[in-house]
Amino acid sequence: MLTDSLCPLRIVEHFEDKCTVLCVVRNVVQHRLHQPTKSIIMSGYKPGKLIIEGKTKQVYEVIGDPKLCILVSKDRITAGDGVKSHELEGKAAISNATNAKVFQLLNQAGLRTAFIKVIDETTFISEKCEMVPIEWVTRRLATGSFLKRHPGVPEGYRFNPPLQETFYKDDANHDPQWSEEQIITANFKLNGTTIGKDEYDIMKRTSLVVFEVLERAWATRDCALIDMKIEFGINSTGEILIADIIDSDSWRLWPSGDKKLMKDKQVYRNLVSVTSADLDNVKRNFKWVANQLDHLVPPTKSSVVIFMGSPSDKEHCQKIAKHANALGLNVQLRVSSAHKGTTETLRILAEYEGSNEKVVLIAVAGRSNGLGPVLSGNTSLPVINCPPVKTDNVAQDIWSSLNVPSGLGCTTVIYPESAALAAAQIHALHDHIVWSRLRVKQLMNFIALKKSDAELKNL
Ligand SMILES: *[C@@H]1O[C@H](CO)[C@@H](O)[C@H](O)[C@H]1NC(C)=O
Ligand SMILES: *[C@@H]1O[C@H](CO)[C@@H](O)[C@H](O)[C@H]1NC(C)=O
Ligand SMILES: *[C@@H]1O[C@H](CO)[C@@H](O)[C@H](O)[C@H]1NC(C)=O
Ligand SMILES: *[C@@H]1O[C@H](CO)[C@@H](O)[C@H](O)[C@H]1NC(C)=O
Ligand SMILES: [Mg+2]
């Protein structure tokens, strides 16, 4: 059996196909040179040695850049430890498209991934990582192998929060389920990073966020993400990144939450005999998934309009804008005084009322805040007051934002970041990208605290 120090890079099929780990020691395969395609060469990335080849993909070095690698998908579909295996023309291109769109979505949400970019129909560039030999499985509904391991639990049992499981990628032992304690005790050392409790926690929390981000995205297409698996790698600077490939082999996807409509590789796994019509059907499903992914990013961005009572409040408003942009919101700044130019304020407000777009208003007015309450009294759009309070006069300045007449529902925060977060939370109700940015921001806070703690406790 190959140990992990010998074999940091492994290729594995779906998490339900235990014992499909294919592990190739780099040096053994590196002499097998392949003819690189014209488009890879034209992309400016020259493929070097073949690092590893699995049933469904090849990984090459990039000549001149040791930090990158090239992943090439193959037209092959396999299941059950390769017992079932078929050539499926066009599968590599579909996998490329699915994987690229999923990683673009994760990157857009702000997650750290190894994916860099697609360079041709079947090929993408990734940061070169040493792979953590663990499959991180997240489940919303109980199905598949979970039911076998937990007799009595009905299929469709809902996990809130999603259930997380880890499997050690060890073909000789059929990818056994591993506990947190087993993973920490294994003491994996990859690219200078030792996988301990902190690293375990970070990967566990990140897996959950990946699942939630994709679950929300799929929900916009009326598809239930049932479960999925991901893997992590450690890049050359020791950073934990979401790596490997995420495609129709990585998840269960049930349109309208209906198992009978499943669109993932389970369809292939379930086949007893495989006809060419069956394979066409599997391919149609995979293609459908790749096409659906085109619609996962909302066409227009959710907007925030920051009204300031005076241009002297610009700096405060720009702080709000910076935070709002970072959360994926579109921001506009407007100057209008409700005290000195009420009709103009209401005219500007009417522009947004009439736009039919989803807009959250933030009112920034120093001293007595007439602006927020006037806006709020004249619109059903949400209004958040964020007065630029002066430290010597906080109690006075804040009062006009809080003590509003009956019938008004504007809310008040005093920090620019809070205003942006409050607006994002409102938009997150309908915009899954904003929801994802919020979720990832919480994850990044969690990771940053862990890192600070690790640094300080070792001082
Ligand atoms: C590969 O993925 C990229 C990114 O989604 C896409 O533009 C390209 O069309 C895909 N190739 C094929 C053959 O589907
Ligand atoms: C990190 O991993 C990459 C890819 O395997 C390797 O090229 C690099 O030398 C490693 N760096 C360290 C510090 O281990
Ligand atoms: C490793 O990943 C981190 C986080 O994404 C990134 O900042 C760093 O530049 C990466 N290292 C390399 C060598 O690309
Ligand atoms: C709404 O606008 C009118 C001006 O048209 C103003 O007199 C009124 O005070 C506003 N309502 C509230 C509750 O502020
Ligand atoms: Mg894999």
Q: How many helices (H) and strands (E) does the chain have?
A: 14, 23
Phi, psi of 320 (to 5 degrees): -60, -45
| 3-state DSSP assignment of residue 139 | strand
Ligand closest to 343 (CA) is 4
Residue 29: the pLDDT is 32
112 lines ligand 3 (CB under 6 A): yes
pLDDT confidence of residue 2: 29
pTM above 0.85, yes or no: yes
**Could you give the CA distance from residue 63 to residue 345 in angstroms, rounded to a whole number?**
60
Q: How many CA atoms lie within 13 A of 379 on its CB side?
A: 28
| Nearest ligand 1 atom to alpha carbon 101 | 5
Assess whether the C-beta atom of 113 lies below 6 angstroms from ligand 3. no
- 303-430 is classed in which CATH architecture? 3-Layer(aba) Sandwich (3.40)
Q: Are strands 359-364 and 303-308 parallel, antiparallel or unpaired?
A: parallel
Please report the pLDDT score of residue 80 as a whole number. Answer: 80
**117 C-alpha to center of ligand 3: Å?**
15
Mean pLDDT by 10 residues, the chain (459 residues): 32 36 30 51 84 91 94 91 88 94 96 95 94 98 96 98 96 91 98 95 98 97 97 95 95 96 93 93 94 83 95 97 97 94 95 94 94 96 95 87 95 97 97 97 97 91
What does R_g of the chain's alpha carbons equal in angstroms?
Answer: 26
Task: Determine the distance separating the centroid of ligand 1 and the alpha carbon of 100, expressed in angstroms.
Answer: 7
Please report the DSSP string for 51-64 in residue order.
EEE-SSEEEEEETT
The pLDDT tens digits of the residues spanning 374-432 come to 999 999 999 999 999 888 888 888 999 999 999 999 999 999 999 999 999 999 999 99
DSSP string for residues in 182-234: HHHHHT-EETTEE--HHHHHHHHHHHHHHHHHHHHHHHTTTEEEEEEEEEEEE
Q: Boundaries of CATH 3.40.50.1970 in the chain?
A: 303-430
| Ligand 3 pocket member 67 (CB < 6 A) | yes
Write down the pLDDT at residue 4.
31
- Ligand 1 atom nearest 94 alpha carbon: 14
Distance between Cα 137 and ligand 2 center (Å): 26
CATH 3.30.470.20 intervals, the chain = 10-293
Q: SS3 of 154, please?
A: coil
| Ligand 3 atom closest to the CA of 237, numbered from 1 | 11
Using the atom order of ligand 2, give the atom closest to the CA of residue 130: 5
Q: Which ligand is nearest to the CA of 372?
A: 4
* Residues 91, 285: Cα–Cα separation, whole Å: 11
- Which residue has the least CA distance to atom 11 on ligand 1? 121
Instruction: Report CA(10)–ligand 5 centroid distance (Å).
Output: 8
C-alpha to C-alpha distance for 316 and 320, rounded to whole angstroms: 7
Phi, psi at residue 119, to the nearest 5°?
A: -115, -15
User: Measured in angstroms, how far is the CA atom of residue 90 from the centroid of ligand 1?
Assistant: 12
Residue with the smallest CA separation from ligand 2 atom 7 is 66
Q: Which of 219, 294, 207 is nearest to 253 (CA)?
A: 219
- Which residues does residue 157 pair with via DSSP β-bridges, in sequence order? none
**13 CA from centroid of ligand 5 (Å):** 5
DSSP 222-286: TEEEEEEEEEEEEETTS-EEEES--STTSEEEEETT-GGG--STHHHHT-SS--HHHHHHHHHHH
What is the distance between the alpha carbons of residues 145 and 140, in angstroms, rounded to a whole number? 14
* Residue 139: per-residue pLDDT: 98
**Minimal CA–CA distance to 59: which of 245, 237, 246?**
245
Nearest CA, atom 3, ligand 2:
236
pLDDT at residue number 32: 36
Q: Taking the chain, what is the end-to-end CA distance rounded to the nearest angstrom?
A: 40
Angle, helix 416-427 to helix 314-326, in steps of 10 degrees: 40
Residue with tokens 């090439």: 72
Rounded CA-CA distance 38/48 in Å is: 14
DSSP 359-412: EEEEEE-SSS--HHHHHHHT-SS-EEE-----GGGHHHHHHHHHSPPTT---EE
State whether the beta carbon of 126 lies less than 6 angstroms from ligand 3. Answer: no
User: From the CB of 342, is ligand 4 less than 6 Å away?
Assistant: yes
Is the shortest distance between the CB of 156 and ligand 4 below 6 Å? no
Fold of 10-293: D-amino Acid Aminotransferase; Chain A, domain 1 (3.30.470)
> Both tokens of residue 134?
């663990």
- Least distant ligand from the CA of 451: 3
CA of 116 to the centre of ligand 2 (A): 18
Q: What is the atom index within ligand 4 of the atom nearest the CA of 405?
A: 13
- Alpha-carbon distance of 397 to 184, in angstroms, equals 53
Residue of 128, 190, 194, 241 to test ligand 2 pocket, by largest number of atoms within 8 Å of CB: 128
**Predicted local confidence at residue 38, as pLDDT:** 62
Q: How far apart are CA 288 and CA 43, in angstroms?
A: 28
pLDDT for 396 equals 85
The helix/strand/coil state of 310 is coil
Contacts of 284 (CB under 8 A, 6+ apart): none
- Which among 375, 404, 408, 402 has a CA at the least distance from the CA of 387? 402
pLDDT value for 22: 30
The ligand with the least distance to the CA atom of 206 is: 3
229 CA to centre of ligand 1 in angstroms: 22
Residue-averaged pLDDT of the chain: 89
Contact 97, 293 (CB under 8 A): yes
Ligand 1 pocket at CB < 6 A: 93, 96-97, 100-101, 118, 121
